[in-house]
Structure 1
Amino acid sequence: MRLSDLIDPFRPAEGPPPGTLFAFARWILKGAWPVLAVAALASAMAGASETGTAWVLGRVIDGVVETGREDFFSATNLGLFALGLGFFVLLRPIVFAFSNFMTSVVVTPAISPLVIMRLHRWMLSQSVDFFDNDFAGRLAQKQAQTANAMTNLVVESINVIFFALASVVGALVLVFSIDPWLAPIMLIWFTAYVLVIRYFIPRVRIRAKARAATRAVVTGKVVDTITNIRTVKLFANAGHEDDGALTAVKNFRASVIHFGRLAATFRLTLMTLAGMLPVFLVGGTLFAWQGGSASEGDIVAAGTISVRLAQMTGWVSFALMGLYRDIGEIEDGMRTLTPDRRLRDAPGATELALSGGEIRFDNVGFAYGRMKGGVQGIDLTVRPGEKLAIVGPSGAGKSTLVSLLLRLYDPEDGQITIDGQDIAHVTQDSLRRTIGMVTQDTAMFNRSARDNIRYGRPEADEEDVIRASDRAEAYEFIQDLMDADGREGFDAHLGERGVKLSGGQRQRIAIARAIIKDAPILVLDEATSSLDSAVEAAIQETLYDIMEDKTVIAIAHRLSTIAHMDRIIVLDDGHIVEEGSHDALLAAGGLYADLWSHQSGGFLGEAAAE
């Protein structure tokens, strides 16, 4: 194992992240603590060497005074020469090099990916509801913010806190060896320093959290606008978006100024306190020298260490503000990222064992936690291999029913079974692997066309990808694709959410993705709504072909696309109000017949939806 791999940056975390700072730090850094302890020890050794520098210089001055100018380079001082040479040329560089190696090569490159991957894996385990209630940009910002802040906190704690503490302890030992009365002077100064830190740091922490929160609002606002830039342009609302961003930026600026005022006062107080240390220590050593209890070298040693500590005070104060700013940003990120919104697999959940593909909704109800909406009292059995269509006005509960089948949400009442197995008691991954889906809002990754199609079955080979794209009537337009980096055809990237494609092109790639997945249960949610009539006709033949030997649930507003399904159910206000074949439902003269009569060009009109 290489030394740079002492910390495994990709080791999974155990359990959910805690909601308190120290417990969260233990969780996010688990597995790295022994190596961090070695890095902290190396930093402390480097800090202690500062005292060694002052002590060696003091001994050299004493040698000068004792032997005089003419005899200083005599054999008497050979040991002193060797001491100085060994300390400054060998020991001190080695200690600092080891400390820098631990932080720069071992710790820093490992902590950031460790934190990012643990937070990313945690976010992937959250339910869809978690993402529905927040901005995508804001969540990404919080994840990056927390990872950066935690990395800075770890590295700077090693480089600053342990280094400074070792320097202070070493200085106490040194001044005590010069004159025991100097130690209380330094302790009084150090106590005052701690009290100043204790007063200011909590306030810095609070204002840092406020600054981080307002900055995240700015990021979320900007990302939300950019994500929906086409809508902004179409509605000529650039001014409105500018006003919203301006308000967020003004709030962020105010929080930065509020933080800056406190930071400036903090620095002034610490620098004033730092200036007192050389005066007290050198002055005290001079008194001791005058009384004969300290040497000239002791004066130099006291002056050297006091000036070094005074200089370090400014560095430490700046670093501490950064550390507590990082703590504030970590806590701000924790509030967003640590809440547990997972839909968990049941204890002992098993893999879904599919035998025929029968789907049963048994008195299922779900209203998104509200008193009304969603679906209520759904009793429905989809037989193995049956082609079932679901129609109804907007808001009737069609998509809710599909979301419950995919277990994006858990029913509030009743249960859903597939081949007699309650989907709440099988693993979510095994459930979703058995269901292929094409949605109206087709989601594309900003990856190659090949990768987007292969997402249905990542191990598929090139021949499978080409065959699926051809069956989905997507092969020809994919051949003509070219992105901004010159990649062509199946290598061309599709842009964020597939913005470089038309709606119909995105839907055809989504159909190719479902074809390549070849799952035994197929869900079509407005699968051809974005296609023109000619392409739709060709795709319908493909869809009928891939429906063979599958259990199919198809949602459609374009009723002509589901007229040949085995059975149609009509939803209204969350209830099944009609059921039967296309012809039977038309003959019944109910809601389905009314919806059919209101269609124009095969679409469900707004009047019918209302």
Structure 2
Amino acid sequence: MYAFFERLFNPLTPAAIERPPTMTRAFFIHFLAPIKGLLLITLAVSAVAAVAEIALYAFLGKLVDWLTVGSPETFLREHAWALAGMAFVAVVLRPIAVLASRGLINLSLIPGLTNRVRWLNHRYVLRQSLSYFNNDFAGRIAQKVLQTGHALREAVVNVIDGVWFLLIYLVGTLVLFAGIDWRLLLPVLAWVLSYAAVIYFMVPPVRRKSATLSETNSALTGRIVDSYTNIQSVKLFADTEREDSFVGEVVGRHTAALRHLMRSVIGMTVVLTLLNTALIVLVSGLSIALWMSSSISTGAIAISISLIIRLTQMSGWILRTVTNLFENIGTVQNGIETISQPYAVQDHPAARTLSVGAGEVRFEGIRFHYGKAEGVIEELSLTVKPGEKVGIVGRSGAGKSTLVNLLLRFYDLESGRILIDGQDIAEVSQHSLRAQIAMVTQDTALLHRSIRDNILYGRPEAGETAMREAAEMAEAAAFIPELEDFQGRQGFDAHVGERGVKLSGGQRQRIAIARVILKDAPILVLDEATSALDSEVEAAIQGQLKNLMTGKTVIAIAHRLSTIAALDRLVVMDKGHIVEQGNHAELLRLGGLYARLWERQSGGFLGIDEGRKAS
């Protein structure tokens, strides 16, 4: 039976990756429209359960009247069919309807809808631009994705379990009271109007305060995750007290926001308690007065008082449900602001797949400034010939890494264009572009998965043999067998910790190089690729990188000029411009910026002897 309900909603059903709407109503429709059939069935089954419960109260009144005026000798003969009918409602119909509604809500909607919303939002957010993630806390973004899925599901369940159930109950109560005596409708209608006024005037402020609470909750999560992510820096600088204050400030704001919300909730509770008390007193007094005037029967008093007591018992739960509904809507609205942002970098509607043959890279009059007043890169033009090995050097902030980020289209150019084999990268898909470029960065962050998974990330379809060969070429095979994680997994199965923290910097770099070796892309970008390695390992890796660069177009960035001095050409950047070009010997003879940078550095590794001989 469980499996039947669970199969009704698969959260991983394939769907196109779409930007979620920015308006709350459209956001809900976007995720609920595909399951409207399931929602309608759930509403229908819940309605049957509510009507069956009201029918039992109606039968209770009839039963009291039968017992009051009837004879025990003829009771069963006169009312056997009615008793059988109500027995069916009480023993069969109502339990089946209640259990079916619980199955639909608890086994289909709650797990399915929650994770469907999270899954689709995660897929969209994952494809956001690099600047999107650089401008926010990773923990805060994750919190928004997770809590929005939960809040949307809770809002739907609140409507089905609370608002819908109350609506059915109110209509049923009014119908029964109208059949007993129209005067009994008056206090109930007055209570309904007062209850609606409470919802209209007192619940919206709760929604606004809930949105504030949601934002502070996300900020709190973001700050805590930021502290944990950078725990090494916290320990190195003995700054635990500063982190206490950093997080404590948001804890204070969160506490104040929660108290502000709870004041409103208590205020609603006080008003509702007064309304419920008035309803019980008025209906009870009016019922007794009508009975005393022989206008209604004893059974009618039983129906009216029992229904009102049930209604008032439900009202507190319903108000909490409605409050939660608005709170969850506020949480969803807060999440929309983060999740539904448009992509800063988007594929062209008619984007083609990049095809790389020779591997020529050409920058034509490009300009980019990260939104600053002055450009980081200004009218830069550069051609890297097929198979050419070009080193990019310059002071910090000269625009070297920005140039690479633009090549990978992490950002869109403000003007100019970048061509690979004559194809404008703005007109090809981002996926196909990055598939043709392999990159090793200075700050290598690995996935918190196994060594095997991290290397195979370069080419998931590669087999075990190719993966191990890449590890050998990257000089990583020597240390991998010695690895063991806290769960006892060893070697290639060992997990590396968040961002690879369980490995040394050099070990992380070698795993990253193995991943690039396995990818075997025609264009290779090295951004301080060996900066985390000691001299002995770097010398070994340089030999492997030299083999890796064979037949590829290479763009290498390095502060240690010794590591790139033997490349075909060196391009010197300063303040977003190319100020010098040539090989190592030519640039030394020129006596410009490169020569001054070289003088400040000691000799090094790959290619230095060749560079000195050439000079």
Q: By the TM > 0.5 criterion, same fold?
A: yes
Q: In the aligned structure 1, how far is the partner of 2:482 from the partner of 2:41?
A: 57
Q: In the aligned structure 2, how far is the partner of 1:177 from the partner of 1:521?
A: 82
Helix, strand or coil: the match of 1:360?
strand
- Aligned residues of 2:18 and 2:124 also touching (Cα < 8 A): no
What corresponds to 1:227 in structure 2? 229
Specify every segment of 5 or more residues in structure 1 that has no aligned partner in the other structure, as ranges: 604-610
After superposition, residues 60-209 of structure 1 pair within 5 angstroms as 60-68=63-71, 70-71=72-73, 73-209=75-211
Q: In the aligned structure 2, how far is the partner of 1:467 from the partner of 1:490?
A: 13
- Aligned residues of 2:509 and 2:529 also touching (Cα < 8 A): yes
Q: Report Cα offsets for 1:482-534 as digits up to 9, x if no partner.
A: 01111100000000000011111110000000000000111010000111111
What corresponds to 1:530 in structure 2? 532
| Residues 1:314 and 2:308 aligned together | no
Relative to structure 1, is the Cα distance of residues 74 and 17 closer, same or farther in structure 2, using a 3 angstrom cutoff?
A: closer
What corresponds to 2:46 in structure 1? 43
Q: Give the stretch that moved more between structures: 359-368 or 329-338.
A: 329-338
After superposition, residues 229-248 of structure 1 pair within 5 angstroms as 229-248=231-250
What corresponds to 2:20 in structure 1? 17
Q: In the aligned structure 2, how far is the partner of 1:571 from the partner of 1:194?
A: 68
After superposition, residues 370-381 of structure 1 pair within 5 angstroms as 370-381=372-383
Q: Matched residue pairs, number?
A: 602
| Letter of the 2:316 counterpart | G
| Residues 1:387 and 2:381 aligned together | no
- Aligned residues of 2:368 and 2:378 also touching (Cα < 8 A): yes
What corresponds to 2:329 in structure 1? 327
Q: Report Cα offsets for 1:206-251 as digits up to 9, x if no partner.
A: 1111111122221111111111111111111111111111111111
Cα offset for 1:310? 0.7
| Letter of the 2:324 counterpart | G
What corresponds to 1:263 in structure 2? 265
What corresponds to 1:343 in structure 2? 345
What corresponds to 1:31 in structure 2? 34
Helix, strand or coil: the match of 1:553?
strand
Cα offset for 1:373? 4.1
Q: In the aligned structure 2, how far is the partner of 1:100 from the partner of 1:3?
A: 10
What corresponds to 1:418 in structure 2? 420
Q: Percent identity?
A: 46
- Aligned residues of 1:435 and 1:523 also touching (Cα < 8 A): yes
Helix, strand or coil: the match of 2:499?
helix
Q: In the aligned structure 2, how far is the partner of 1:198 from the partner of 1:560?
A: 72
- Aligned residues of 1:145 and 1:329 also touching (Cα < 8 A): yes
Helix, strand or coil: the match of 1:390?
strand
- Aligned residues of 2:48 and 2:94 also touching (Cα < 8 A): no
What corresponds to 2:612 in structure 1? none
Q: In the aligned structure 2, how far is the partner of 1:349 from the partner of 1:520?
A: 21
Helix, strand or coil: the match of 1:476?
coil
| Letter of the 1:67 counterpart | G
Helix, strand or coil: the match of 1:376?
strand
What corresponds to 1:57 in structure 2? 60
Q: In the aligned structure 1, how far is the partner of 2:229 from the partner of 2:596?
A: 38
- Normalised by the length of structure 2, the TM-score is 0.95
Residue number among 378, 400, 403 corresponding to 2:402 in the alignment: 400
- Aligned residues of 2:17 and 2:123 also touching (Cα < 8 A): no
Q: In the aligned structure 1, how far is the partner of 2:70 from the partner of 2:280?
A: 28
Helix, strand or coil: the match of 2:33?
coil
Q: In the aligned structure 2, how far is the partner of 1:64 from the partner of 1:586?
A: 113
- Aligned residues of 1:125 and 1:342 also touching (Cα < 8 A): no
Q: Report Cα offsets for 1:366-409 as digits up to 9, x if no partner.
A: 11111224211111111111111111111000000000000001
Cα offset for 1:273? 1.0
Cα offset for 1:8? 3.6
- Aligned residues of 1:44 and 1:165 also touching (Cα < 8 A): no
Residue number among 292, 296, 299 corresponding to 1:290 in the alignment: 292
Cα offset for 1:21? 1.0
Relative to structure 1, is the Cα distance of residues 218 and 74 closer, same or farther in structure 2, using a 3 angstrom cutoff?
A: closer
Q: Report Cα offsets for 1:190-215 as digits up to 9, x if no partner.
A: 01110011111011111111111122
Cα RMSD for the two superposed structures: 1.5
Q: In the aligned structure 2, how far is the partner of 1:454 from the partner of 1:188?
A: 69
After superposition, residues 526-565 of structure 1 pair within 5 angstroms as 526-565=528-567
| Letter of the 1:114 counterpart | R
Q: In the aligned structure 2, how far is the partner of 1:128 from the partner of 1:39?
A: 42
Cα offset for 1:285? 2.8
- Aligned residues of 2:61 and 2:303 also touching (Cα < 8 A): yes
What corresponds to 1:479 in structure 2? 481
Q: In the aligned structure 2, how far is the partner of 1:28 from the partner of 1:475?
A: 47
Cα offset for 1:14? 5.9
Q: Report Cα offsets for 1:124-166 as digits up to 9, x if no partner.
A: 1211110000001111111111111112111222111111110
After superposition, residues 453-602 of structure 1 pair within 5 angstroms as 453-600=455-602, 602=604
Q: In the aligned structure 2, how far is the partner of 1:298 from the partner of 1:57?
A: 9
- Aligned residues of 1:129 and 1:341 also touching (Cα < 8 A): no
| Letter of the 1:226 counterpart | Y
| Letter of the 1:253 counterpart | T
Relative to structure 1, is the Cα distance of residues 72 and 201 closer, same or farther in structure 2, using a 3 angstrom cutoff?
A: farther
Cα offset for 1:181? 2.3
What corresponds to 1:608 in structure 2? none
Q: Give the stretch that moved more between structures: 329-338 or 197-206.
A: 329-338
Q: In the aligned structure 2, how far is the partner of 1:103 from the partner of 1:246?
A: 38
- Aligned residues of 1:47 and 1:162 also touching (Cα < 8 A): no
What corresponds to 1:360 in structure 2? 362
Helix, strand or coil: the match of 1:181?
helix
| Letter of the 2:54 counterpart | T
What corresponds to 1:252 in structure 2? 254
Residue number among 427, 431, 434 corresponding to 1:432 in the alignment: 434
| Letter of the 1:531 counterpart | L
Q: In the aligned structure 2, how far is the partner of 1:182 from the partner of 1:293?
A: 11
Q: In the aligned structure 1, how far is the partner of 2:508 from the partner of 2:202?
A: 55
- Aligned residues of 2:391 and 2:558 also touching (Cα < 8 A): yes
Q: In the aligned structure 2, how far is the partner of 1:356 from the partner of 1:287?
A: 98
Helix, strand or coil: the match of 2:34?
coil
Helix, strand or coil: the match of 1:409?
coil
Q: In the aligned structure 2, how far is the partner of 1:169 from the partner of 1:602?
A: 86
Relative to structure 1, is the Cα distance of residues 74 and 30 closer, same or farther in structure 2, using a 3 angstrom cutoff?
A: closer
Q: Give the stretch that moved more between structures: 15-24 or 111-120.
A: 15-24
- Aligned residues of 2:448 and 2:495 also touching (Cα < 8 A): yes
- Aligned residues of 2:400 and 2:557 also touching (Cα < 8 A): yes
- Normalised by the length of structure 1, the TM-score is 0.96
Q: Report Cα offsets for 1:64-103 as digits up to 9, x if no partner.
A: 01214x3364411212321231121111111111211111
- Aligned residues of 2:457 and 2:515 also touching (Cα < 8 A): yes
Cα offset for 1:602? 4.2
